[in-house]
Amino acid sequence: MKKILYLLFLILLVSCGQEHQSKELQIHQGQPTDSIPTPVLTLEQGNKLAALPLHCLETEYPNKMGHVTASPTDQKRPSEQHPVFYGCFDWHSAVHGYWSAVSLLKSFPELESRAALRSIIDKHLTPENIEVEIAYFHTKQNTTFERTYGWAWLLKLQQELDTWDDPQAHQWSGNLQPLTDLIIQRYSEYLPKLQYAIRVGEHSNTAFGMVFAWDYAQHKQLNDFQAVLKQKALEFYREDQDCPISWEPSGYDFLSPCLEEVDLMRRLLPESEFHNWLVKFLPGIQDGRLDIEIGKIADRTDGKLVHLDGLNLSRAWVLYGLAAQYPKYSSLMDQADLHLSHTLPNLVADDYAGGHWLGSFAIYALQNAKNAQENI
């Protein structure tokens, strides 16, 4: 039954095929086009997307633990070691699986799986279970566990719960807060010691982690945490120029090293300073030019190769976010639409390798698409 639900968790959201290829060619040649509309997250789509967390949050195996073993007795099953975040293949995917559930419940009160998802959250997101999660982060060999990708998504989950006007959500938010506070402490201790930015397209990308951390710090008005983030971000990225975006994508990317910097710096720099920085960082972007190739996947059963679906989605949300904040870059929404529309049909999951996490990326990209449409 779970397999059937999982296979149904997404529907085709937009048409694909030659229309996509035509628009991709036009954009590459610098021609304006609006042949593919900006995708919109609807209740019907939300019902399909909700099948992802409904399926995976309590799916314990297969599981990639990421655990450093301290002794022969230090081996526990995932649900014992992480009684909240044990599903969805790995810890960070479980975290953004919960974020997906909360986000969809907030957006669609009529969600078909509302009762089932609320039951799962209430069952696992308890003070007792959070204490176990905290204790794990205090074990000697695992103090840096999930640094910083999982940390960032935990802050995003906390923010989503904090901003949900729902009595039960207020309780869940309070239950999660002690773990969130620990993550903020770890982040604040780590960043001053990090001498160089991590400019990769996978989990350890420094800019991506800082984006979600910054959003949370602003949400909570954590001035000290904001200061730590801003100081390090400016130290790492303020003087960057001529980012080699034409080198992207690398084979395992699910984040764009260049565009993640843009996503961060648009949050931190004053408007005029940001525009000056961006023109030097990605020359030609002020004219709506962005030479990037859509990530294409030969085998979606390969957990690494399927990362490129995530790259298309994360690129889309960065471009939507940029256009929403500064409409002068609204022409870049064509690229965002193309990336999002190319990938959404592929998320009719036929394998757990990508399905355990890509739904979260799709939801976040669609949210940013909506925000861009409302602000342009």
> What tens digit of pLDDT does each residue of 115-160 get?
999 999 999 999 999 999 999 999 999 999 999 999 999 999 999 9
Q: Residue 240 gets which letter from DSSP?
A: -
What local confidence, expressed as pLDDT, does residue 34 receive?
53
Specify the higher pLDDT residue, 3 or 99.
99
Q: What is the mean pLDDT of residues 42-56?
A: 93
**Dihedrals φ, ψ of 10, to 5°?**
-135, 155
Mean pLDDT, residues 44-50 taken together: 92
Q: How does residue 365 score in pLDDT terms, banded at 50, 70 and 90?
A: very high
Task: Say what the pLDDT of residue 98 is.
Answer: 98
Whose CA is closest to 91, among 135, 56, 48?
A: 56
Q: Give the model's pLDDT for residue 8.
A: 42
351: nearest Cα among 107, 86, 7, 4: 7
Tell me the residue range of the domain where 118 lies. 2-375
Structure tokens at 146: 């999930």
Q: Residue 105 pLDDT > 80, yes or no? A: yes
d(CA 69, CA 342): 41
Whether the per-residue pLDDT at 3 is higher than 80: the answer is no
Average pLDDT, stretch 320-333?
A: 97
CA distance 225 to 1: 45
Which DSSP string corresponds to 153-186?
Answer: HHHHHHHHHHT---HHHHHHHHHHHHHHHHHHHH
> Once rounded to an integer, what is the mean pLDDT over residues 34-48?
87
How many domains are contained in the chain?
1
Instruction: Report whether the peptide linkage leading into residue 180 is cis, meaning its omega lies within 30 degrees of zero.
Output: no
- Check whether 24 has a pLDDT greater than 90: no
Specify the pLDDT at position 263.
98
Distances (CA, A) of 133 to 79, 126, 152, 178, 244: 11, 11, 16, 10, 40
Better pLDDT: 74 or 170: 170
Across the range 193-209, mean pLDDT stands at 98
Among 12, 4, 120, 15, which Cα is nearest to 362's? 12
Note the pLDDT of residue 36: 82
Of all residues in the chain, the percent with pLDDT exceeding 70 is 90
Has residue 257 got a pLDDT over 50? yes
